[in-house]
Structure 1
Amino acid sequence: MDYIKHLTEWISNAKDSKLVSGPSTLRAVQAIKNGVPINKTGYGNTTNGAAMKISPIGLISEYNQLDELMKNVYDICLPTHNSSIAVSGACVVAACISYVAAGGKDLNEMWELAIKVAEDSKGIGAEFPSPSLSFRIQYVRDIVDNCLEEEAIIRIVNELGTGVETIETIPAVLAVVQLANGDPMKAAKISASLGADTDTIGAISASICGGMTPNFDESDVSIIEEINSLDFDKLAEKALPFSPYYI
């Protein structure tokens, strides 16, 4: 309930909230304000907002304890993205974030983890018609394994899509992570070249890559902090005690 309270307050009061919030979240928050129960406010929302905001759950969950991780993800998804595909996509992202937070860097292991989580999580959340996420992950893996970068990008855009739907976003994210070979800046640039929902694909893929290769140019970090009024050191200090990998 604290999460719902903070989300509602932020959308109501932050000057840029309407610009950066997705359609599913805005509809759900309005429904919450209207008194609709939270087990109904996110029903049928299949877009990628849940996957985009779920990285913190990956930081506080263990990828090798999937039942707990998936429950944590579902609790966050319920008010705004209560559909099986949105929850499943968010579970994949959270598991990948947890994997890299634990020190994981093996792309093959990450692919296998993503496929497993997509399968294990597909029954969580309200049932809603969707193609198979695990099939599409395997499909895009075959593309990036067997194509040069330029051809892979063209095929991802034309065959799988890069729009706001979770079923398009998650395969594209994983493909970008491999094409960038874990380099967050390259992931951001590849994402920008895809077209459509580039900011979401870039945010997720760069966050995964950031955990794999956390070597950023200090000038880039300073620019990001200044433009967005952030202090990454303070944010890290606040988050660190909640990490299961923190000793």
Structure 2
Amino acid sequence: MSMSTLTSTSSAQERVERARGAFYGLALGDAFGMPTQSLSRAQIAAQFGRITTLEDARTDQPIAPGMPAGSVTDDTEQAVLVGELLVAGQGTIEPRMFAQRLIEWEASMKARGSLDLLGPSTKRAIQMIIDGEAPDQSGRFGTTNGAAMRVTPVGIATDLHDRAAFIDAVVQSCRVTHNTTLGIASAAAVAAAVSAGIEGASLAEALDAGAALADAGEAHGYWVAGGRIGERIRWAREFVAQGPADAIPQKLYDVIGTSVASQESVVAAFALASDAAQRGIDIGASLGVAASLGGDTDTIAAMLGAILGACAGYRALPQDLIDTVRRVNRLDLDPLVGQLLALRARSA
């Protein structure tokens, strides 16, 4: 399935299954990485050994102290926010409304006593808007993974038959906070992999689509220095194909990196997805590896979960763990998934 001939092999029912897999997969990955986020690889090994299931956060967790196993973080909550804005705007996101919703979201997090607040690029952009900057200027410094972590609803709501329209949808979701070549390319990569999966692509084909749309996305936004997302994804996939499985996580941590920088964490998520494609998709095991990496584990695992879930479908997610995530967070994404798929059907 090449990008030039990407056509749907999914029925409407299968699209629902895969779209649910993408959104709940994001939430599950987020919850896997919640207790280990911002910890080093050595700290994770000392505290947890290796993550294999949902874990409680320790009381000294720097961002999510004492949160119960299965709790989601900003990755899921901001993805829901983007999805709701897409539905409200009938497929478009109004920039100032987006900025206002982000401000309100952070205020609600502070009121709950949470330390899981806006990331560095988003915080800077929102402050610029508060100070009177135009929305198309506020995101010109955003190079971190905030846009990519919350872009899954765009991949659900938009198919890839019209690349220009797809990239426009991604750019809309990035403009306020991550209006840069790196920010848009990384978000386009994740959204494209999700969208391709929903249309029936295999995991390997979805990853190809992600790299290709990253190339297209980097033609938009303000240029910033940094490794090209599409090329780094391809390089990482070649590395994974050649390396022994047990050495991959440490090499990702040492060489690619696992920070909030988009050219690290997004590429790491694609590398782990490529590893899953080679060895067969075991979503729980793959998310455990992501949560054990060190660094921005909740976001890496969330992006990975969205891509794997889109390609494998909801039923491939570990159902006992999904039930925990849904119960702990009182999370019901099904109505939003249905509304996003209705937008997809209209655009197609």
TM-score by length of 1: 0.91
Summarize the Cα distance change of 1:134–1:217 in structure 2 as closer, same or farther, 3 Å threshold. closer
Give the whole-Å Cα distance in 2 for the aligned partners of 1:55 and 1:133: 17
Query: Contact (CA 8 Å) 1:144, 1:175: kept in 2 or not?
Result: yes
Query: Contact (CA 8 Å) 1:133, 1:167: kept in 2 or not?
Result: yes
Give the whole-Å Cα distance in 2 for the aligned partners of 1:240 and 1:41: 30
Summarize the Cα distance change of 1:223–1:20 in structure 2 as closer, same or farther, 3 Å threshold. farther
Summarize the Cα distance change of 1:237–1:81 in structure 2 as closer, same or farther, 3 Å threshold. same
Aligned residues: 246
What is the deviation of 1:162?
A: 1.1
2:136 to 10, 32, 39: 39
- Structure 1 stretch 11-20 or stretch 47-56: which is displaced more? 11-20
Query: Contact (CA 8 Å) 1:115, 1:134: kept in 2 or not?
Result: yes
1:198-236 deviations in whole A, cap 9, x for unaligned? 111100001110112222343322210122221133333
Structure 2: which 5+ runs fail to align? 1-93
1:56 to 153, 168, 178: 153
Give the whole-Å Cα distance in 1 for the aligned partners of 2:127 and 2:294: 29
Matched ranges for 1:201-216 at <5 A: 201-213=300-312, 214-215=314-315, 216=317
Amino acid across the alignment from 2:134? P
Give the whole-Å Cα distance in 1 for the aligned partners of 2:341 and 2:206: 23
Aligned to 2:103: 8
Give the whole-Å Cα distance in 1 for the aligned partners of 2:134 and 2:120: 19
What is the deviation of 1:246?
A: 10
Summarize the Cα distance change of 1:246–1:62 in structure 2 as closer, same or farther, 3 Å threshold. closer
Query: Contact (CA 8 Å) 2:139, 2:176: kept in 1 or not?
Result: yes
Amino acid across the alignment from 2:143? T
Aligned to 2:190: 93
Give the whole-Å Cα distance in 1 for the aligned partners of 2:127 and 2:147: 17
Matched, 1:149 2:245: yes
Amino acid across the alignment from 1:239? L
Summarize the Cα distance change of 1:20–1:189 in structure 2 as closer, same or farther, 3 Å threshold. farther
Aligned to 1:226: 327
What is the deviation of 1:18?
A: 5.4
Amino acid across the alignment from 1:203? A
What is the deviation of 1:158?
A: 1.3
Matched, 1:191 2:311: no
**SS state at 2:116 partner:** helix
RMSD (CA atoms): 2.1
Summarize the Cα distance change of 1:217–1:155 in structure 2 as closer, same or farther, 3 Å threshold. closer
Paired-residue identity, %:
27
Give the whole-Å Cα distance in 1 for the aligned partners of 2:128 and 2:305: 32
TM-score by length of 2: 0.66
What is the deviation of 1:68?
A: 0.8
Give the whole-Å Cα distance in 1 for the aligned partners of 2:327 and 2:134: 39
Amino acid across the alignment from 1:95? A
2:178 to 64, 67, 81: 81
**SS state at 1:180 partner:** helix
Give the whole-Å Cα distance in 2 for the aligned partners of 1:112 and 1:212: 13
Query: Contact (CA 8 Å) 2:147, 2:174: kept in 1 or not?
Result: yes
Give the whole-Å Cα distance in 2 for the aligned partners of 1:186 and 1:66: 33
Query: Contact (CA 8 Å) 2:147, 2:183: kept in 1 or not?
Result: yes
Give the whole-Å Cα distance in 2 for the aligned partners of 1:61 and 1:190: 30
Give the whole-Å Cα distance in 2 for the aligned partners of 1:160 and 1:135: 12
Aligned to 1:243: 344
What is the deviation of 1:134?
A: 2.3
Matched, 1:168 2:264: yes
1:169-213 deviations in whole A, cap 9, x for unaligned? 222111111223343322211111211111111000011101122
Aligned to 1:131: 227
Query: Contact (CA 8 Å) 1:60, 1:242: kept in 2 or not?
Result: yes
Aligned to 2:202: 105
Give the whole-Å Cα distance in 1 for the aligned partners of 2:323 and 2:153: 22
- Structure 1 stretch 182-191 or stretch 43-52: which is displaced more? 182-191
Give the whole-Å Cα distance in 1 for the aligned partners of 2:142 and 2:222: 10
Aligned to 2:16: none
Structure 1: which 5+ runs fail to align? none
